[in-house]
Amino acid sequence: MSHDTHLSLWAADRLHNISELRFRVTKTLMSARSEFQHVAVVDTEGYGRMLFNDSVAMISTRDEFIYHEMIAHVPMFVHPAVRRALVIGGGDGGTVRELLRHRGVERVDLVEIDRLVVDACREHIPETAAALDDPRCRVIIDDGKRFVAEAPDGAYELVIVDSTDPAGPSVPLFGAEFYDDVHRVLGPDGIAIAQAESPSHEPATQRRMLGLMRDRFSRVQLYNYANLIYPGGLWSFSYACKRDLCPVGDFDEARVAASALRFRYYSPAIHRAAFVHPQYQVDALAGLLSPWKSTRG
């Protein structure tokens, strides 16, 4: 690794101009502008290799397992049998990789709007992007909103919205029309998961997202995780399902052991604990979340 020792280089992810999380860069592997955003892949001193879109940290090879295990395995172990999944965004391939670890999955469609993200990750971040070359994965470079609008009814058991923040190309993925189509393309037991921002920095976004889902789905929940590269400690994923499939009450942890999969963040206990919110988040989301089913006995 060639260290740029003559310069102190930092990649800076700024939050609302109030704080900034900076990562010490040892080497810039690529840095280019696409039609949609600026994309960069860098090596860092402490976080391995990192992808930045418009200067916002997307993933690091040190901690991407946290985000990708939590976005994928929570719904995979709640839905009775996912065979076909749709991932919108997530051009790094990490979510696809985790989905494909489940033997029942026959096909994952990955719809990424920005070819540059896929190309950059394929070249520089094989840890996640190798999954995109799995024969069960179909990579589609397209607008996710348009793709779901044209997809057939009931085509998927699971839709994962693995988007960037609601700015730039991701804005339509936080809108009402998009969720009409997500609901429509799901089968009867279908689950929709979406990247749902920070409970402390974006409570209004969380409320808006959950409101959209509540108008369309039988059950809406939110679950939290904590990675190393996003600001503000906790971060969330939303959970919505067409029929009333409770991610805690209907969760059968015996399926996790039976899968023989090994995880670095996820576990049955973490699955349940992720749906427990700090009191400030409980208060902020009052009235938006579905009541719990009692735990299966």
Nearer to a copy of itself, 188 or 204 (CB): 204
**Contacts to a copy of itself from residues 221-250, by CB under 8 A:** 226-228, 230-234
Nearer to a copy of itself, 112 or 202 (CB): 202
Q: Which stretch binds a copy of itself (CB under 8 A): 87-95, 129-137, 202-210, 275-283?
A: 275-283
Query: Of 84, 74, 81, whose CA–CA distance to 138 is shortest?
Result: 84
Name the E strands within the chain. Answer: 10-15, 19-33, 38-44, 49-53, 56-60, 84-89, 107-112, 137-141, 156-162, 186-195, 219-226, 234-241
Pick the catalytic residue from 63, 92, 114, 162: 162
d(CA 160, CA 200): 23
Distance of CA 171 to CAs 37, 175, 243, Å?
A: 13, 7, 27
The question of whether 162 is a catalytic residue gets the answer yes
**Contacts to a copy of itself from residues 197-226, by CB under 8 A:** 200, 226
The SS3 of residue 43 is: strand
Q: Does 269 bind a copy of itself (CB under 8 A)?
A: yes
Considering the complex, what minimum distance in angstroms separates the CB of residue 69 from a copy of itself?
Answer: 9
Q: Does 20 bind a copy of itself (CB under 8 A)?
A: yes
The position carrying tokens 């280019």 is 32
d(CA 139, CA 108): 9
- Positions marked active-site: 162
Binding site for a copy of itself (CB under 8 A): 10, 15-24, 44-47, 63, 66, 200, 226-228, 230-234, 263-267, 269-270, 272-273, 276-280, 282
